[in-house]
Amino acid sequence: MNKKNKIYEGARYKFVIKKEIGSGGNGKVYDVDIIGHPKLDFVAKFFSADKRNLKKCNKRFERFKKEIEYVNKLTDIEGIMLIEDCNLSSMDNSWYLMKKAREYKVNTRKKLNEKLDDIMKIALVIKQLHYRDMEHRDIKPDNILILNNRVYLTDFGLIFCDNDIDNLTDLNERIGPGKIAPPEFSNLGAFSYIDFKASDVYLFAKVIWMILKEEPFGFYGPYKYGEDSKQLLLDEKKYSVETFIPINKLIHEATYDDFTKRINIDDCIGYIELQQKLISNNLNDDEKVIINNLKNEELLIKFKEDKCSKHIISNKEFIAEFLQKNQFPSKIKICGTISDDKEEVKEKELLLEISRVRINHNYCQGYYFINKRKIYECHFIVNEIILNEEKQQFEFQLIEDERLWKYNNIIEARGNIVGKYYVPSNKKIVIDY
């Protein structure tokens, strides 16, 4: 029957269909005229009853009813579109009415702070769902709408509640948005349990990337920093922003293949807030330290994921933070050339504790403990750090400094005999890891 020739009636409104404007997994969407209320701008979503596969059709109809049921339970959450009226009298005549909104365009030329504001609003909706042990499972740009300059998360056809028995999803069924879907969505039967909150976070991170990158198609798999993944990285120059480190960390930690390792929505919100404060120059001292630490972590991640085996770091602040974090294991080698044909190698099993780093001059004073009694003290100036993945080593190249040419002095400190080792500038410190 032609839907345009019919008057549809619910508990609150009567309407007639004008034209089809879209479709989703469980039905089609139409522009409508509300009889007696010409100023109301609504759309109607109708269930599409394809009875050629009755079992599949029944399951889709149950999802359609479940969507209406749960959305009606979430009316207190800002950012979820209300259902204005509905009818579920039969599979052939089931629909619901909502206010008409426009689709969210990821390639729109919004300012960065406006995009981050949209992203935060989506995050807060997801947070409210997760606090109620509900998961959306279909987060994608197509399911984000704008009404009165406010973003809304819509289409709850795949919503899942932790307290429910999910008899609407087959173990061999693929769910969610294809290209950006987490790996667990393609093989539900391989898991005895899936944390769908982690799946939502994965999808949300992909949406963040699509919004900030202005790319509507997303990307497969986890977010990486390596040389072969440069095309994925967000462009600071495009937005004239100092760094995207908080958002990079969010997307990286939210898109692990293993859902048990992903961050949660509260962690996501923390990273978004940090990025917002960074671009508005509103960081407090503690947050500045966090940003600096994130920079260092990001560099290390890039080095580990990069196919290039050797990296040279000369940033003074990074070197200082790197040394202060005690990231080295216990073995240290002091290597240097005694003559043209002989290389001096001294190895000691030492536990490193960097006690002080003068950032301005990259002057380092390290204490090495043996059996909790004897202390070896090492002074050196670091000009650059070389991370050599092939040899599994960090190399500290030293600059010329005559003050460091004396070494192996013995001094007494706090009743202990201390070996004071000044590293000459023609040597290097190599630390295996």
378 three-class SS: strand
Contacts of 337 (CB under 8 A, 6+ apart): 343, 344, 426, 427
Give the rounded percent of residues in the chain with a pLDDT score beyond 90.
Answer: 44
pLDDT of res. 235:
86
Q: At 195, phi and psi to the nearest 5?
A: -85, 95
Q: What is the mean pLDDT of residues 18-25?
A: 83
Q: What mean pLDDT, rounded, does the chain reach?
A: 76
CA nearest neighbour of 29 among 13, 42, 10, 11: 42
Q: pLDDT class for 426, splitting at 50, 70, 90?
A: very low
Paired tokens of 112? 């960065």
CB 400 within 8 A of CB 425: yes
Outline where DSSP puts E strands in 64-215: 85-88, 94-99, 102-103, 134-135, 144-147, 150-153, 160-161
Q: Which of 284-288, 302-306, 320-324, 351-355 has the weakest average pLDDT?
A: 351-355
- The reply to whether CATH 1.10.510.10 applies to domain 102-308 is yes
CATH class of 3-99: alpha beta
Residue 406 labeled ligand binder: no
| Cα–Cα distance for residue pair 91/69, rounded to 1 Å | 16
Residue labelled with tokens 């960097």: 354
Cα dist from 33 to 14, 95, 270, 369, 383, whole Å: 9, 15, 43, 81, 72
Instruction: Dump pLDDT digits (tens) for 246-300.
Output: 999 999 999 999 999 999 999 999 999 999 999 999 999 888 888 877 876 776 6
| Cα–Cα distance for residue pair 120/132, rounded to 1 Å | 19
Give the global pTM.
Answer: 0.73
Ranges in the chain annotated CATH 3.30.200.20: 3-99
Q: What is the mean pLDDT of residues 152-171?
A: 76
Ranges in the chain annotated CATH 1.10.510.10: 102-308
